[in-house]
Structure 1
């Protein structure tokens, strides 16, 4: 009986996808995307072939709830209530920067009407992938225009993790570390200027006050962007951030926090070797001494990477808490 139900569900899903495909006009293209180890299923993404014709994309995706429930187990059709959902539109753009062209995405709510408060989202070390497209859209749905750049544009366009692989795989991580090694504070500063210029140029954004959020290594990016553009960045947040206050590290954002004028929120992972208690204390002391308006929280029981639903350490409760904190921060500082 269960196999018959499973077979029936799969046929129903196939019919839905075929209908969607039949409705796609000429000039559109479909591609498969790999949702990583937690999902055994590949899903069709229908997207405009010409990136300049936007915003006009419909995406069907496995929900993060289904992925989180499955963990590393095979797909369970009983999670079908969370299986397919339609995501609102995003627009791909190219941003002129000193070091090249930054491929990026703009996310807005599906009912967007006019310019919205601007948010910049920096991915973790794994780069652009479905997990972060979902994050960007979730934030946008609160009433923001979210700009998500490819932090590795100097080396690759789009996703840097090969199809069927994970950013945590041993044969993938050396490439990511190599690319990340080129993201010096000086390179980041040049990129920040390009991102602010893009916000000023694109119609989706009201860039009078900007919010920035980073994850893992890019928690430091958020702090540096707030310091580099204190007159523009009203809020900066970092979640399961890494190496923010290494003693003696001249590249640490510790040395620039005195320039920050916006509000700061940091949600640290519990027992995180990349951000141990002594670093948290050191950073808090520096921000307090500089008069920064900041909040620090420790997410007890949540490990490094707790917001990434494509990672084995994903923590659904901590992820929900992170969105709640981020929503409050941006509402109070950006007015979304």
Structure 2
């Protein structure tokens, strides 16, 4: 369902999907630079079908993009402080929601949303139990991160070079993080997203099964 959350006393759009039981572990879903598109809403519904309370905040609060040029324009005009505030406000909203049954939530993000997933996991380590990222990386004090980590990556991603992914993996392991890095050979960025031409159904299904299993184990 389409809802609104309060961010710095201003309404921000979001999408909330509840499991049939009405309650379950909370999961924050952070979209890529395309904005809060139907794919993300459908993903929230799929996650609710697996028993999770899935909340996807609209990090742009309205605009969406269909092309790379449009997405670049959105990121160039974005208020990143507000985006960060939106992520943290959505986290707090989900933790307080009566449908959420856990004291720690999961966070899942795609590309740009992956970066903000890692921000949430390191800024609020006592509130995030599981972090799942697709394609994107970030920087942080991995020693502070209490969440278990699952990353889905390509080994030939032109948007996220392998060297950067491997460097983050090395840093996480050096900090003692509980991290799993899964690689999907030969695929392009956005391989999980069914509304993108880079979508790979077989890899997306494998990543989905791994993600659901990981979340069930850690939430």
* TM score, norm. by length of structure 1: 0.61
Q: 1:288 aligns with which of 169, 173, 189?
A: 173
What per-residue deviation string (whole Å, max 9, x for no partner) do you get for residues 95-128 of structure 1?
111273221111123x223x21000001111011
The answer to whether the aligner puts 1:151 opposite 2:21 as a matched pair is: no
What is the alpha-carbon root mean square deviation over aligned residues? 1.8
Equivalent of 1:230 in 125, 138, 147 = 125
Instruction: Give deviations 1:16-68, integer Å, cap 9, x for gaps.
Output: xxxxxxxxxxxxxxxxxxxxxxxxxxxxxxxxxxxxxxxxxxxxxxxxxxxxx
C-alpha displacement at 1:195, in angstroms?
Answer: 1.4
Does 2:215 correspond to 1:305?
A: no
User: C-alpha distance in 2, partners of 1:139/1:269?
Assistant: 23
Q: How far 1:187 sits from its partner (Å)?
A: 4.2
Partner of 2:67: 167
Q: Is the 8 A contact 2:59 2:83 kept in 1?
A: no
- CA displacement, residues 296-324 of structure 1 (integer Å, 9 cap, x when unaligned): 11111221010111111110011101111
Q: Which of 71, 87, 90 lines up with 1:192 in the alignment?
A: 87
- Could you tell me whether the CA contact under 8 Å between 1:189 and 1:228 is conserved in 2? no
- Structure with greater contact order relative to length (CA < 8 Å, sep ≥ 6): 2
Report the Cα distance in structure 2 between the residues aligned to 1:167 and 1:132, rounded to whole angstroms.
16
Structure 2 counterpart of 1:140: 48
Q: Distance in 1 between matches of 2:83 and 2:119?
A: 8
Residues 199 and 207 in structure 1, CA contact (< 8 A), matched pair in contact too: no
Matched positions, count: 219
8 Å contact 1:222–1:237 — kept in the other structure?
yes
**Displaced runs of 4 or more, over 6 A:** none
Q: Is the CA contact (8 Å cut-off) linking 2:5 and 2:13 kept in structure 1?
A: yes
Alignment counterpart, residue 149 of structure 2, candidates 247, 264, 270: 264
The correspondence of residues 28-47 of structure 1 with structure 2, limited to 5 A, is: none
Alpha-carbon separation, structure 2, partners of 1:260 and 1:303: 28
Instruction: Kindly report which structure 2 residues correspond to 1:59-208, keeping only aligned pairs within 5 A, or say none.
Output: 91-98=1-8, 100-109=10-19, 111-113=20-22, 115-153=23-61, 157=62, 159-161=63-65, 166-168=66-68, 170=69, 172-180=70-78, 182-183=79-80, 186-208=81-103
Residue 211 of structure 1, CA deviation: 0.5
In the alignment, structure 2 segments of 5+ residues that lack a partner are none
TM-score by length of 2: 0.92
Q: Which has the larger radius of gyration?
A: 1
In 2, Cα distance between equivalents of 1:213 and 1:174: 22
